[in-house]
Structure 1
Amino acid sequence: MTPLDPMFYLVAVPAVIFAGISKAGFGSGAAFVAAAILAIVVDPGFALGVMLPLLMLIDVASLRPYWRKWDGPSAKGLIIGAVPGVAIGALVYSVVNADSFRLLIGIICLAFVVYQWARAADVLKIPNFAFSRGWAWVAGSVAGFTSFVSHAGGPPVAVFTLGMGMDKTRYQATSVIVFWAINLMKFIPYGFLGIFTAQTLLADLILAPAALLGAWIGVRAHHYVSERLFFGITYVALTLTGLRLIWLALS
């Protein structure tokens, strides 16, 4: 399946719109579902290469509504910590094959759902804590790695920021600025690793309007749409996607 195949866009367009809504309106934690879904129908590297410029476009579209509403020390610590995480992610990507990446992305999908269920059911309780630069660096490193290999850096950032008791808008704004920086960090290594190709760039040009539409919807949905409904749909999609990726990788 290629960017010239109409079937690709039957999958890609709704996935990209969903990523825009998630990233611009509900924190970036679940936005990686788009890359995971694409990894079912195309090579995982191709999926990552298509999604990064689109996620960066969503970042730019999301910055203005949340400008300076983030928590400065947390954002700075997470961004600094992400640097070694991105470097490790680049090293891992250079030595593993496509099926290994499908397996890794599938596991991350299921782990994300289990983590969110454990929080909702009070099985996993994250007590509020004061800002810690060291923990910000740790969370940023994990986010940098998982973001590089699957665009799934949201959970470690969420654990850190929500653990500080941030309100929804401050959490969202902090996530936006942190992943704007992390995605910029990933861009050059992606280029050197050959993740970007003429085909991924063609797909990006065609899918850019879908990304902007999703971001526009997300900013507005942030104040009006139930997070419970949105994430309920997301978790079902991630569970099915994760199981399918693991099946493809192992078979």
Structure 2
Amino acid sequence: MSPILTDPLFYAAAIPAVVLVGMSKGGFGGAMALLGVPLLAFIVSPVQAAAILLPILIVMDMVSLWAWRGVFDRRTLAIMLPGAMLGIAVGWWTAAVVTEGHVRLIVGIIALLFFLRWATDKLGGLERIGSHNRVVGAFWGAVAGFTSFVAHAGGPPYQVYTLQLKQDPKLFTGTSVIFFAVVNAVKLIPYFALGQFDATNLTASFILMPLAPLATLAGVWIIKRMRPQTFYPFMYAMVLIVAVKLIHDGVVSIWF
């Protein structure tokens, strides 16, 4: 048996990581999910941490799909998912040359600018409500697929397009659950091809997996009780936290 599977420090990091990611998967904001891999990476490498979490993410996606069944916006998915498939393919094709640090830095800057635009609008009393645009949606879908594959950071690009639609919180969350469930399922193929899974990582995933549905349902329970007046400021606050975290990680990876 691998040493990490009997190391108490591994579980001290892995259990909180799974709980945070699960609550995020339930709809509780992408900032929590971004903390999962770095927390686990205190004990194992970031690549191994991502490989351990990916099967758990699939289980969380299944729970979220059940919890939010029947609540989604078909048009958002029809516009963004084809782009996401292209983004994943590009990520797979460029996996050997694209660095995770640069991707995280770029996505962090995009997320920060997106938050600052929203904050400026709020201070100016402007309510910006967007509408569907096939070209724009396909672009951000592709960016989300690419950054999700390369750096597990698909949330901010997805939110750049969808938050401005000002959908009902339940509709927003149900749609995002389907989007990322599809993205994560498709990512399994290239992850296997790139050799990201081995017996140790899969065993660790299965040991931690019972926590997945409990944490995910906790996130669902909270979001289903949120009013729009609370939900959208909360989501933009999560975007800011994600932006700061991604910029920090990108800078540290590139220059230190």
Query: What is the TM-score of this pair, normalised by structure 2?
Result: 0.82
* TM-aligned CA distance change 1:238 to 1:5, over 3 Å: farther
Q: Which runs of 5+ in 2 are unaligned?
A: none
Other-structure match for 2:174: 173
* TM-aligned CA distance change 1:26 to 1:8, over 3 Å: same
In structure 1, how many angstroms separate the alpha carbons of the residues matched to 2:169 and 2:5?
37
Q: Which runs of 5+ in 1 are unaligned?
A: none
Residue 51 in structure 1 maps to residue 16 in structure 2: no
In structure 1, how many angstroms separate the alpha carbons of the residues matched to 2:92 and 2:182?
16
**What are the equivalent positions in structure 2 for 1:71-220 lying under 5 Å apart?**
71-95=73-97, 100-101=99-100, 103-104=101-102, 107=105, 110-111=108-109, 114-115=112-113, 117-119=115-117, 121-122=119-120, 127-220=128-221
8 Å Cα contact 2:121-2:127 kept in structure 1: no
8 Å Cα contact 1:36-1:241 kept in structure 2: no
Other-structure match for 2:252: 247
In structure 1, how many angstroms separate the alpha carbons of the residues matched to 2:212 and 2:110?
23
Q: RMSD of the alignment, in Å? A: 3.1
In structure 1, how many angstroms separate the alpha carbons of the residues matched to 2:139 and 2:239?
26
CA offset digits 1:146-201 (Å, max 9, x no partner): 11012211112112122222121111011000111111110100000011121210
In structure 1, how many angstroms separate the alpha carbons of the residues matched to 2:239 and 2:43?
19
Other-structure match for 2:70: 68
Other-structure match for 2:18: 16
8 Å Cα contact 1:21-1:218 kept in structure 2: yes
SS of residue matched to 1:182: helix
**What is the Cα deviation at residue 204 of structure 1?**
0.5
In structure 2, how many angstroms separate the alpha carbons of the residues matched to 1:55 and 1:71?
22
In structure 1, how many angstroms separate the alpha carbons of the residues matched to 2:155 and 2:190?
20
8 Å Cα contact 1:37-1:241 kept in structure 2: no
In structure 1, how many angstroms separate the alpha carbons of the residues matched to 2:75 and 2:184?
19
Query: What is the TM-score of this pair, normalised by structure 1?
Result: 0.83
**What is the letter of the counterpart of residue 47 of structure 1?**
A
In structure 1, how many angstroms separate the alpha carbons of the residues matched to 2:107 and 2:39?
10
Asked which structure has the greater CA Rg, the reply is 2
Percent of pairs identical after alignment? Answer: 32
